[in-house]
Amino acid sequence: MPEHYEDSRLYRIRHSTAHIMAQAMLERIPEAKIAIGPPIEDGFYYDFDLPRPLTEEDLNWIETRMKAIMREDHPYTVREVSPDEARAFFKGQPYKLELIDDLQNGRVDDNGNRIAEPADTMTFWTQDTFTDLCRGPHVENTNQINPDAISITYKMPAGAYWRGDEKRQQLTRIYGTAFETSEELQDYLHRLEEAKRRDHRIVGERLGLFTFSQIVGKGLPLWKPAGATLRDTLERWLRDVQIENGYEPVVTPHIGNIDLYKTSGHYPYYKESQYAPIDVDDEQFLLKPMNCPHHIMIYKSEMRSYRDLPVRYAEFGTVYRYEQSGELHGLTRVRGFTVDDAHLFVTPDQLLEEFKAVVRLIQYVFNTLGLTDFRARVGIRDPKSDKYVGNDADWEHAAAAIIQACQEMDLPHTVEEGEAAFYGPKLDFIFRDVLKRNWQLGTVQVDYNLPARFELEYVAADGSRQQPVMIHRAPFGSLERFVGILIEHFDGAFPAWLSPVQALLIPITDRHVPYAQEVAAKLKAAGIRFEIDESKNRMQAKIAAARERHIPWLLIMGDRDQQAGAVSVRLRTDEDLGQMPLDDFIAMAQRVINDKAMALG
């Protein structure tokens, strides 16, 4: 995206193409009500209220008609109109009338705050037979849009609520895109296809990493051995890193008494996104939607001195949230997932340094995996919402600490209202999937509220009782979502240390199988994960199959290798390292694995 996309020619082309789409729609379905049609990052959309569902034929017709309109050389003209004139023109177009009213009165948000000044005039933009209420700008003539460089993006209409409000009319949205040259369009469409091929739901299925069962339930992933191996490897690594950094393991159960969540303040706010309570002996239990209350109860189980702090409790804790069915998505949005959770209990003096140490740990995790394509977001309260607990002073302190830490660490970040947790502000690390959808992974949250609500304390140096501050943090966020993003990041070709199968042994003929088994015994002793392909297939077929699984090292062995006590090593990158003494291969593989290296040799 250019630096000033909104000033670019591409932006005007896309905006103008959206108007042409609306014109074509009104020609196809004259009763259509038109809503809005803005440019977006990779194209544009237009929302319509239609009397019937659209068909693929409709979309093809509209696309063809759009191209024809472009070739007809219609100028774009603009004129100023009064609100009354605008209303007269758009009689029978309720969405436009609502926009006209808002422009005249000045836009007001849901809380009654003015977000735009009242306007005495507004502008109409016209091309050919179509006029739209629009601030522009547009290209000068439809012939400035290349008909061979536009496309309806999905040959399938999408639903969208009027003004993004699920309580209002649902409209039909058509996405399209436009470029300056057909090469750029083809390139874009090609990249979209490539991205879909990398989708973790497809790659994960093909690699046998996970599956879903209708009987187990939607949004509840089942990890197959290969996926569980990858996940376990990540867990063991992070567990070790955390222990080096002063964390202590804790383990807590999957359910907890509902009173825990009433005390946390969490139950009333998020009641609708939880599984229903479990009734047992006149008590109610919740499948835990978060781990913090359990960890807090461990903190509270002993008298704490300032000398004990920081206390850092870490657990790979599985939580359950009742997500809306339409939001479930592969591994990246599920109903049961494991958080690489930790809760730090610190003195106010320790907060800043501990926060920075946590951010450093998260950066170390991302760097090791080569994940660089993320943004950092400081989420603070929406000042107009009532869905938060606690007092203003604590919220200010917490947000100030987060922002100060980011500045001191030179971490580029945005500050966004309404993105806080209900108990405190947070720093989130957000990644995009192959289709540019945003997913929050790592998170660090500063919390003065739960320590107060649970009456946590420690004995200070002067003997007084003081309240600790909590830091909630999860570098991966959830193992499920993190692995989903990793699959797409690596397109299934994981670094050797994470690969479920690191070496595939390929005996050239049956008589080499015993030698392969000897080799296997040595690999096993060396801690290298392997499989032997003992199928009756020819070596070429074994190699082809292994390539599809992105197995890092292929060890081919025939007479020559057996006689030499060697293996012939081929990398998944197709590089042929030739014959190597087995011990040399093992040493090389161990080095690559221990270094968590990206390269294989």
Partner RNA sequence: GCUCCAGUAGCUCAGUCGGUAGAGCACACCCUUGGUAAGGGUGAGGUCACGGGUUCAAGUCCCGUCUGGAGCUCCA
Of 134 and 331, which has the nearer Cβ to RNA?
Answer: 331
Q: Is 297 in the site for RNA (CB under 7 A)?
A: no
Q: Is 492 in the site for RNA (CB under 7 A)?
A: no
Of 119 and 539, which has the nearer Cβ to RNA?
Answer: 539
Catalogue the long-range contacts made by 547-552 (C-beta closer than 8 Å, 24 or more residues apart). Answer: 547/572, 547/574, 548/206, 549/207, 549/501, 549/504, 550/207, 550/491, 550/492, 550/493, 550/494, 550/499, 551/499, 551/501, 551/502, 551/503, 551/504, 552/496, 552/499, 552/502, 552/503, 552/600
Binding mask 65-94 for RNA (x = CB under 7 A): ------------------------------
Residue 235, amino acid = E
Closest CA to 457 of 322, 287, 311: 311
Q: Indicate the SS3 state at residue 470.
A: strand
Residue 63, amino acid = E
Q: Is 549 in the site for RNA (CB under 7 A)?
A: no
CA distances from 431 to 189, 197, 354, 376, 475 (A): 22, 18, 24, 9, 12
- The DSSP code sequence of 42-69 is TEEEEEEE-SS---HHHHHHHHHHHHHH
Binding mask 390-429 for RNA (x = CB under 7 A): -----------------------------x-xx-------
Q: Is 278 in the site for RNA (CB under 7 A)?
A: no
Q: Is 244 in the site for RNA (CB under 7 A)?
A: no
Beta carbon of residue 152, minimum distance to RNA (angstroms, whole number): 12
Of 128 and 199, which has the nearer Cβ to RNA?
Answer: 199
Q: How far apart are CA 472 and CA 444, in angstroms?
A: 6
Q: Please enumerate in sequence order all residues whose Cβ is within 8 A of that of 568, keeping only pairs 6 or more positions apart, or say none.
A: 555, 556, 557, 558, 560, 561, 576, 577, 578, 579, 580
Q: Is 300 in the site for RNA (CB under 7 A)?
A: no
459 and 484 Cβ atoms separated by less than 8 Å: no
Interacting span for RNA (CB under 7 A) from 182-190, 231-239, 449-457, 534-542: 534-542
Q: How far apart are CA 40 and CA 3, in angstroms?
A: 14
Binding mask 215-234 for RNA (x = CB under 7 A): --xxx---------------
Of 330 and 552, which has the nearer Cβ to RNA?
Answer: 330
Beta carbon of residue 362, minimum distance to RNA (angstroms, whole number): 15
Q: How far apart are CA 576 and CA 82, in angstroms?
A: 74
Q: Is 588 in the site for RNA (CB under 7 A)?
A: no
Q: Indicate the SS3 state at residue 476.
A: coil
Q: Is 170 in the site for RNA (CB under 7 A)?
A: yes
Q: How far apart are CA 569 and CA 546, in angstroms?
A: 13
Q: Is 191 in the site for RNA (CB under 7 A)?
A: no
Query: Which residues sit opposite 161 in a β-bridge?
Result: 170
Kindly identify the residues of this chain, within the stretch 320-349, that bind RNA according to CB under 7 A: 321-330, 333
Interacting span for RNA (CB under 7 A) from 120-128, 150-158, 252-260, 402-410: 150-158
How many residues at the interface with RNA, by CB under 7 A?
Answer: 76
Closest CA to 165 of 95, 105, 118: 95
Interacting residue with RNA among 336, 570, 582, 600 (CB under 7 A): 570
Kindly identify the residues of this chain, within the stretch 494-533, that bind RNA according to CB under 7 A: 508-511
Q: Is 308 in the site for RNA (CB under 7 A)?
A: no
Beta carbon of residue 107, minimum distance to RNA (angstroms, whole number): 16
Beta carbon of residue 488, minimum distance to RNA (angstroms, whole number): 12
Interacting residue with RNA among 41, 548, 583, 595 (CB under 7 A): 548
Q: Is 51 in the site for RNA (CB under 7 A)?
A: no
Element housing 507 (H / E): strand 503-507
Of 318 and 568, which has the nearer Cβ to RNA?
Answer: 568
Beta carbon of residue 41, minimum distance to RNA (angstroms, whole number): 11
Kindly identify the residues of this chain, within the stretch 87-146, that bind RNA according to CB under 7 A: none
- The count of residues in the chain is 601
Q: Indicate the SS3 state at residue 524.
A: helix
Of 205 and 457, which has the nearer Cβ to RNA?
Answer: 205
Interacting span for RNA (CB under 7 A) from 75-83, 352-360, 367-375, 560-568: 560-568
Q: How far apart are CA 474 and CA 576, in angstroms?
A: 40
Q: Is 282 in the site for RNA (CB under 7 A)?
A: no
Kindly identify the residues of this chain, within the stretch 6-45, that bind RNA according to CB under 7 A: none
Q: Is 318 in the site for RNA (CB under 7 A)?
A: no
334 and 286 Cβ atoms separated by less than 8 Å: no
Interacting residue with RNA among 61, 212, 237, 285 (CB under 7 A): 212
Q: How far apart are CA 475 and CA 371, in angstroms?
A: 12
Q: Is 277 in the site for RNA (CB under 7 A)?
A: no
Beta carbon of residue 266, minimum distance to RNA (angstroms, whole number): 6
Beta carbon of residue 88, minimum distance to RNA (angstroms, whole number): 31
Beta carbon of residue 156, minimum distance to RNA (angstroms, whole number): 6
Q: How far apart are CA 471 and CA 362, in angstroms?
A: 14
How far from each other are the two terminal CA atoms of the chain, in whole angstroms?
A: 37
